[in-house]
Amino acid sequence: MTDPSSPTSRPEAATMRSLRRALPFWLSLGMIPLAVLGATVGGWTTALLPVYGWMLVTVLDAILGLNDENPDPATPESDLLWYRTITMIWFPIQFVTIFGLIWWVTHTSHLGTLEILVLFFGVGVISGTVGIVYSHELLHQKNRLERWLGDLLLASVLYSHFRTEHLLVHHRHVGTPRDAVTARYNEGFHHFFFRVLRECPASAWRAEVQMLARAGKGPFDARNPFWRYAALQLAMLALALILGGWMGLGLFLFQAFIAVWQLELTNYVEHYGLTRKHLGEGRYEHVLPRHSWNASHTASNWLLINLQRHSDHHYKPDRRFPLLQTYTEEDAPQLPFGYPAMTTMALIPPLWRRRMNPRVRAWRKKYYPEITDWKPYNRGETPLPRGA
């Protein structure tokens, strides 16, 4: 028998402890057998994916409550293997799921039109609730493989420009008029959604062109990642067409739309009504934990790999998801529920405003009592200097 105190057994024990701690974040894998079940059995089983991703996780949040524990941010990278693994294996899993189901439903006849649409709505839940969230984690890393995997996940929902928009625009300008995905106070989700679809691709293009110009290159230089974005997305579209014909292409576009819709629902929730103070001459205060809504709900943070610890993500963007810190209400505004429940609420603007507008007003009073005119902030404008 091996001595548990021996040097050879200690690394194995540490590995097992790391695996046990990481396993809850593998909750997303439960979606794959549900997709297979819906595709093979049909009927009510095609609706299990959104039930799992939204309802079950919300129920688990209510049962498990909040997790306010903060990991040691100095934890070495070697201890995060099992956390990183789930994000790195997700692209092949999602790829096979999307294109395997496209081939399946276009080569079998036991599913009706409504069943297929409900099933691919669920596929969009996979690629949006999980795939885009994982791509977000991957594109923040310096590792080239991880960034490529993030690009591939975004291409599978035709939203590749999100990488540029998120890194070069959102993180720099969050809480200011220059950030399209900071939802304005009293702005309904549906208005926000179409505004973001219109503004973000152009904003991302401008950001890349400005970077190229600083390097003395033109907008159509080979180093512009929009060439890569276009090639990857065209490859995905072509594969859907080859595997499933025009119906397969339509289903691919449908799941991509559902995924993007869920991403922007999340973006809407993350910063609704929260703005950085204008300091004059176009300058704003530094990003602080107070400029993102925080949520410590246990199960939804498992599914969304701690995305709801969003206050810390914006404060320390390079921090990997297992090490993100949570904050008390003294340091960051708190959501009453996890993202699955909050995004559902956002679809009903009167209900959303009734629940969230008082929280925004309380946040303003707490952190910025000196600001008496919030109208420019509400309209997404740069406030004028006093006396102007």
Q: What is the pLDDT of residues 262-294, one digit of tens each?
A: 999 999 999 999 999 999 988 999 999 999 999
The percent of residues in the chain predicted with pLDDT above 90, rounded, is: 90
Task: Give the pLDDT of residue 78.
Answer: 86
- Locate tokens 């859907």: which residue? 240
Between these two residues, 1 and 192, which has the higher pLDDT value?
Answer: 192
pTM of the model as a whole: 0.94
For residue 47, what are the domain limits?
14-378
Evaluate whether residue 388 is within a structural domain.
no
In a domain, 6, yes or no: no
Q: Is residue 50 part of a domain?
A: yes
Token pair 């057998």 is at which residue?
Answer: 33
Tens digit of each residue's pLDDT (9 = 90 or more) over 325-355: 999 999 999 999 999 999 999 999 999 999 9
Q: Would you say residue 343 lies in a domain?
A: yes
pLDDT of residue 386: 56
Per-residue confidence band for 2, with pLDDT thresholds at 50, 70 and 90: very low
5 in any annotated domain: no
Residue 384 within any structural domain of the chain: no
Domains contained in the chain, number: 1
Q: What is the structure's pLDDT at 387?
A: 43
Per-position b or e across 262-277, b if 16+ CB within 10 A of its CB = bbbbbbbbbbbbbbbb
Q: Which tens digits make up the pLDDT trace of 7-50?
A: 545 666 666 778 889 999 999 999 999 999 999 999 999 999 99
CB atoms within 10 A of CB 175: 22
Non-local (6+) Cβ contacts of 50 within 8 A are 121, 122, 125
Dihedral sign for Cα 304, 305, 307, 309, please.
positive
46 falls within a domain: yes
Residue 3 lies in a domain: no
Query: How does residue 1 score in pLDDT terms, banded at 50, 70 and 90?
Result: very low
Q: Give the Å distances, CA to CA, from 137 to 87, 251, 280.
A: 8, 26, 33
Residue 92: the pLDDT is 98
Q: Given a cut of 70, is residue 183 above it in pLDDT?
A: yes
Per residue in 91-149, pLDDT tens? 999 999 999 999 999 999 999 999 999 999 999 999 999 999 999 999 999 999 999 99
The span from the CA of 368 to the CA of 350, in Å, is 26
Which pLDDT belongs to residue 3? 54
